[in-house]
Amino acid sequence: MTTPNPSTQTTRTDSQDHPLLAVEGLTTHIETEGGTIHAVDGVSFQVDRGETVCIVGESGSGKSVTCESLTEIVPQPPASIVDGSIQFDGEPLHDVDEAFMRRIRGNRIAHIFQNPQQALDPVYTVGDQIVEAIQIHETVPETTARERAIDLLRQVGIPSASDRVDEYPHEFSGGMCQRVAIAIALAADPDLLIADEPTTAVDVTVQARLIEVLRSLADGGMSVLLITHDLRVVAALADRVLVMYGGTIVERGPVSSVFTQPSHPYTQALFDSYDELSRRSDRSARDEIPTNGCRFRNECPHAVDACAEDDQPAFHAVARGDHSVSCVHYGPSGDPDAILEASRDARPVTSAEVTDDD
């Protein structure tokens, strides 16, 4: 493929003929001493303009590697992106050179990582770090960048922002550091914000405030791709949900539909591992995950011989809208009644707790 010209490929467009982000067949392998891990195995999804899409799944399901592969920040090696296509705002984001990708990262696609304390440099003030992020992507005087840094701190809910802009990361709590990390991510006014577990390891009060910050960004028209374990966060923020297991997406759909009728056996098992929306623990250790057929079949109570055939099962519609699952039981020759019956007991919230805007 011919490498796009960076001078012509990073301009924002107003076209609504295509999704902001379209991922098709993304495949990322990680080489280890024990062999090749199929961390991301043929993942396809899209994010529309102004939409919040949440990726859920247990640890090791491939959520973070998927999102890090989008802008090629996944460490290579040991990882390698071996297949798939990525379209961003209608232009290819795969097979491009590093100079082009640097114009995308932070500028049009920004990341928030799991551990804000590690993401912030302890020897520089938070203001200096935000100013640096602004000036990397925009030619403005330092005084202008500093004023914008203060405005960003206010936007993410930092009190006394004009004073705290000159403080160091160690002078902020974990929740405040996460807000600073969000402010840095917003420095270039990105089109897509990728947030990896932004509410992890903070108390419920701080979590509620961070949810409000993310909701205000989405309400302002920014697209958000959110990784989280916490179903409360999904219920509060998501327009659509992608459920991942074994490097693949097994269920996808509007949050209201997936939460009221979880229809893949893995989604049901995942939701069952929550107690009143709080994750009790990661599910127990398992045998090696297959790399063909249904990845969940070794643990699935509904597994049949057809689950081991071919590649990942095709997606089949479950309900109105775009709710679908990758499961042979929903195909023309299958019978999903037993799985659908189990969905009644696996709902993490009631229909009244999730707004149905469809």
Q: Are strands 109-112 and 278-279 parallel, antiparallel or unpaired?
A: unpaired
Identity of the amino acid at 168: Y
CATH for 240-353 is 3.40.50.300
Structural domain spans, the chain: 240-353
Give phi and psi for 76, each to the nearest 5: -125, 115
Type of residue numbered 275: D
Rounded distance between C-alpha atoms, residue 63 and residue 57, angstroms: 7
State the Rg of the chain over Cα.
Answer: 21
| Omega cis (within 30) before 77 | yes
Going from the C-alpha of 112 to that of each of 70, 84, 200, 310, the distances in angstroms are 14, 24, 12, 37
Give Cα separations from 309 to 189, 264, 265 (angstroms): 46, 18, 18
What's the pLDDT score for residue 351?
39
pLDDT in tens, the chain (358 residues): 333 333 334 455 555 678 899 999 999 999 988 888 899 999 999 999 999 999 999 888 899 999 999 988 888 889 989 999 999 988 888 778 888 888 888 889 999 887 777 778 899 999 999 999 898 888 889 999 999 999 999 888 888 999 999 999 999 988 888 889 888 988 888 999 999 888 776 677 777 888 888 888 888 889 999 998 888 889 889 999 999 999 999 999 999 899 988 999 999 999 888 754 454 444 444 557 888 899 999 999 898 999 988 888 999 998 666 899 999 998 888 888 888 888 777 666 543 354 444 4
Task: Report which secondary-structure segment, H or E, holds 271.
Answer: helix 265-272
Strands 21-32 and 35-47: antiparallel
- The three-state secondary structure class of 10 is coil
> What is the pairing mode between strands 192-196 and 223-227?
parallel
H/E stretch holding 53 reads strand 52-56
Contacts of 51 (CB under 8 A, 6+ apart): 20, 218, 223, 224, 239, 240
